[in-house]
Amino acid sequence: MAAKPTVLLTGASKGLGFAIAKILLGTFNANVIALSRTRGPDLQALADAHGDALMAVECDVADEAALRAAVARGIDKYKALDGVILNAGVIEPLGPIASEDTTLDQWRKHFDVNVFSLVAALKATVPTLRKSTFGGRVVFVSSGAATGYMPTWGAYNAGKAALNSLCRTIAREEPDVTFVSLRPGMVNTAMQEQIRNRGGEAGMPPEFLGVFTGAYETGKLVDPYDAGHVVAALALRAPQSISGDFVDWSGDACKEFRRQ
């Protein structure tokens, strides 16, 4: 049995992903295979501080071959894989579905990151997760958009809905692994800044955009370390009883996984 659990994390270089990486290393004493498109100074500093416990890999998750190679490197290094956190995602393109300003190619690129990379990651990791001595788990970082209808978010809404569907389906296909889809709330990250800065020009109706600007101005955005603690804890401790479920980070199902 491995001395400590090993978790694969995508989208690790900033925002929620970076917070999750720090929590896994510092609070849960886990090995972390951190995948990100670029290795920024913060992630590099974290790698320097934690040495062998953090393997930071530059990887475009939309590149299936690169993703599979990164996963294989991590499993070879730690000889195990116990949790997977699928956090990488983009919100672009923003704009009405019927608008000529957004192209099918933009939609395809969105789905390459937000949907198809999930399938590639599952194919690369589930066979090893089945053998985890800690109990294999996958956390899909979802959004309220998965069940919503935010105007100008057509690609994002559809992608997160597909993510939730993947979670529900694979939970029935793989009973020896636990799968959870999590709504982390409006987390104070660069994506929120992007929504505030570009939402209006993309055509978001003022009443919808105002939800985001209002949350920012009143200090109601979620701290990445609050939502991140729930994600990290679920990746290591989520019970089989919620496998396939879509849960809210602040809801009853996650109460025991929130930081005190």
The catalytic site residues sit at 142, 156, 160
Distance CA 11, CA 68 (A): 15
Closest by alpha carbon to 137, among 236, 33, 31?
236
The values of phi and psi at residue 186, to 5°, are -80, 90
Backbone torsions φ then ψ of 216, nearest 5 degrees: -70, -45
DSSP symbol at 181? E
CB 25 within 8 A of CB 46: yes
Could you tell me which of 22, 36, 21, 14 has the C-alpha nearest to residue 193?
14
Give dist(CA 234, CA 236) in Å, integer.
Answer: 5
Structure tokens at 26: 């510092």
Q: With both helix axes pointing from N to C terminus, report the angle between 206-217 and 190-202 in degrees, rounded to the nearest 10.
A: 150
Q: Rounded to an integer, what is the distance from CA 127 to the centroid of its chain?
A: 20
60, two tokens: 């475009």
Q: At 29, which amino acid appears?
A: N
Q: Which of 178, 77, 173 is nearest to 132 (CA)?
A: 178
Rounded CA gap, 63 and 178, in Å? 26
Q: What's the CA gap between 148 and 68, in Å, rounded?
A: 32
